[in-house]
Structure 1
Amino acid sequence: MAQTNARQIEAFQAVMATGSVTRASERLNVTQPAVSQLIAQFERQCGFRLFERHGGKLAPTREAHALYAEVERMFLGVRQIMRVAAALRDHSWGVVSIAAFPAIARRVIPDIIWSFCENKPDTRFRIESMRSRGLIDAVATQQVDIGLSVLPGDRPEVESTRIHRLRGLCILPATHRLRKAKAVRPEDLAGEEFISLGPQDHSRFMIDRIFDERKIERRIRIEVGQSETAFTFVGAGAGVAVVDPISVYNNSDERIVARPFEPAVEFDVWLIRPRASHASNLVEGFVAHAMKQLDDLAKVFEASARVR
C-alpha cells in the first residue's frame, strides 16, 4: 500500500481551507479530478471517510475537522521553517554578538545596528563594551562574532582588517580663547591645563611625542582612562584634550567645542574576526552594512578634522 504523501495532505488542507474541490484546484494549480483523486487516496490511507458528498458538495466529517487541526499545525510549522529560511537568506534572522571599544560601542554602534535591524524583527544583537585587549581575546575564543577595536589583533586565532584611519581633534571649553581657531597646534597649548589619556591608551604615546619633539610644556594634572572621560573634564572647564573623533560624535554638550589638531594624530579602527570560523550570512550581511555606515561616518569625521 502506498504511503501518504505530502501532496495528498496538501490537497486535503486546500479543500478544508477553501470549502470546495474547485477552489482547491485553483489554489494548487491542478485539475479538479487530480484533487479528487488525491483526496480519495488520502481517505484510503486514513481508513475513514473525510467528506460526505451531498449533491456535488463536500461536507467535512468530524474526523476531517479533527485531522485538519493537526494538519494546520503541521503547515504552520512548515511555514515557520520557510519563513526562517527566507529570513536567513535575507540576513534578517538570528543573533549577532559584537565586542566594541567603549567609545565605538556608545557613539557609533547604536546607529549602525538600528539602521540594519529596523525592518528585521527576527534579528537580535548582543553588544559588549570592552577595551581592546579583552575584545581581541573574546573574538579569539569565539565568545563574540566580530570586534571593532582601536588596535589590531595580536593572536593567531584572529584576523584584523583596518577599516578606517581617523584624525584626532582638540576639544576645548566653549569659552576658550582658541574656540574659533581653524586648527589648534601644540604651541597654542603651551602652559595649558591638559587632560591626558592614561598610559594604557595607545594614543597617549603619539600625543606626548608631538609635544616632546617641540619641547612644549603642558600642565598635566588629570589622566583619564578613556577619551569620553576627558570630554567630561573639558566640559567642566578643567582643561583641554586631544581625543579621537568617535568620542566627539553625537556628543551634544554645548560647553565644548572641537577643533582640528595639527599635526595629525591618527586613530585606527579595526575589524577583528575569528580566523577559523565561517561567519553566518547574517553576520556577513551586518559586516557589509557596518562597513558602509562607517565609510559615511568617516567622511563626517574627516570633514570635522579638515583645516579650513
Structure 2
Amino acid sequence: MNVRQIEAFQAVMASGSVTRAGERLSISQPAVSQLIAQFERSCGFRLFNRQGSKITPTREAEALYNEVQRMFIGVGQIARVATALRDQNWGSVSLGAFPAIARRVLPDIVWGFCEAHPDTRFRLESMRSRSLIDAVAAQHVDFGLSILPGDRPEVVSAHLHRLRGVCILPAGHHLADRQTIHAHDLANEDFVSLGPQDHSRFMIDRVFDELKVTRRSRIEAGQSETAFSFVAAKAGVAVVDPISAFNNDDTRIVVRRFEPTVEFDIWLIRPKAARSFNLVDSFVSFTLERLDLFASTLNAA
C-alpha cells in the first residue's frame, strides 16, 4: 500500500469513474486500474464491483473512503500551512518591550503587520529592561526592544536609535511659554522623579547633580505615565523619555525640549542561540522600518 494507490482510490471514489480518475491524476485509465488492483490486494478485500465499464464501490470501500478523506484533508491543511509559512502568513511571534515602547509604539506596528499577515498571532509583554533581557536570554520571547543593551552572553544587542529626553510641565506653569527648558530653569521647582528601578532616573539625576541644580523632589513615580499623571495634577514638572510624550493629547500638560541633552537609546535584543524563523525575521524587519520613521519624527520635533 502506497500513497499513489490511495490517491487513485480517492480519485475513483470522488469522480465515480476510472476514466475521470485518470484525467484528474493525469495518468491513463489502465494505470488507474492497475493501482486500484494493487490497492485491493493490499487491503485484502474487493473495493469495487465491476459491471462492464461501470464500477460500484463496495460498503468496505465507502467505509475506507471516509478515512482516506480525513487523511487528504489533513494533507491539504499541511500544504496550506507550508504555503503560509513560506509566505510568512502563519505562526506566532512573542516580544517584550520597555513599557513606553510597548504602550505607545508597538500596538500600531503589530496591528499593521497583522493586517498584511492575517493568520499570525502575537504576544506582547511590557517589562523593564532588566527583566526583558532575562526573558530574551531564556527565549521566553523571540526578541525585545530595550533602553539598555543586553549584558548576558546568551543575547546579542543592536543599537537602533538615540532619542532626546523632554521636559513636561503643567499647562499654565510659569515656564510653559518657553520652547526649551534648561536644567537651571528648574532650580527649586517641585520635581516628579522616576522610580529608582528606572535606569532613566540615574541619567536625569546626573545632569542636575553635575550642574549643582537643586530640585524639590517630593514625589517618585514608578513609570513615565504615572509621572504624567502627577504633572497633570500640578504636583510638579518632570523629565521623561520622548516616547512617553509622543502625541500627548492631555491639554493639562505641555511638552518642551530639555537641555542639556538627556539621551535615551533603543536596543534590539535577540537570543544568540535562537533558530531562524522567517516570520520573526520578517516582523523584526517590519518593526525596524517603522521605528526608523518614528525616531525621525521624534528627533525632528
Partner of 1:203: 200
- Report SS of the residue matched to 2:150: coil
Pair 1:15–1:174, CA change in 2 (3 A): farther
CA distance in 2, matches of 1:247, 1:239: 17
CA distance in 2, matches of 1:54, 1:15: 15
RMSD: 2.4
- Does 1:230 find its partner at 2:227? yes
Out of 265, 268, 271, the position equivalent to 1:268 is: 265
Q: Is 1:193 equivalent to 2:227 in the alignment?
A: no
TM-score normalized with structure 1 length: 0.86
**Aligned with 1:165 (options 162, 166, 170):** 162
Match of 1:131 in 2: 128
Alignment partner of 1:51 out of 48, 52, 55: 48
Residues 58 and 184 of structure 1, relative CA distance in 2, 3 Å threshold: farther
After TM superposition, the score normalised by the length of structure 2 is 0.88
1:281 alignment partner in structure 2: 278
Aligned residue in 2 for 1:102 = 99
Which runs of 5 or more structure 1 residues have no equivalent in the other structure? none
Residues in 2 aligned to 1:171 and 1:54: alpha-carbon distance in whole angstroms:
90
Distance 2:201 2:243 in 1: 16
Query: Paired residue for 1:80?
Result: 77
Letter aligned with residue 184 of structure 1? I
1:121 Cα offset (Å): 4.8
**Offset from partner CA, 1:83-132 (integer Å, 9 cap, x none):** 22223323333332322222222222222222223354543333332211
Could you tell me which runs of 5 or more consecutive residues in structure 2 were left unpaired when the two chains were aligned: none
Q: Relative to 1, partners in 2 of residues 1:106 and 1:58: Cα closer, same or farther, differing over 3 Å?
A: same
Deviation, structure 1 residue 258 = 1.8
Superposition deviation, residue 250 in structure 1: 5.3
What is the distance in 1 between the residues matched to 2:138 and 2:93? 16
Map of 2:2 onto structure 1: 5
> For residues 117-155 of structure 1, what are the alpha-carbon distances to aligned partners after superposition, in whole Å with 9 as ceiling and x for unaligned?
335454333333221122222222233222221111112
How far apart in 1 are the matches of 2:160 and 2:130? Answer: 18
What percentage of aligned pairs have identical amino acids?
Answer: 69
The answer to whether the Cα contact below 8 Å between 1:107 and 1:250 also exists between their aligned partners in 2 is no
TM-aligned CA deviation for residue 273 of structure 1 = 1.7
Output the amino acid matched with 1:33. Answer: P
Relative distance call for 1:30 and 1:257 in structure 2 (3 A) is farther
Render the CA deviation track for 1:234-283: whole Å, top value 9, x for unaligned: 12222221111221235533322322223322101111122223242332
Aligned residues between the structures: 301
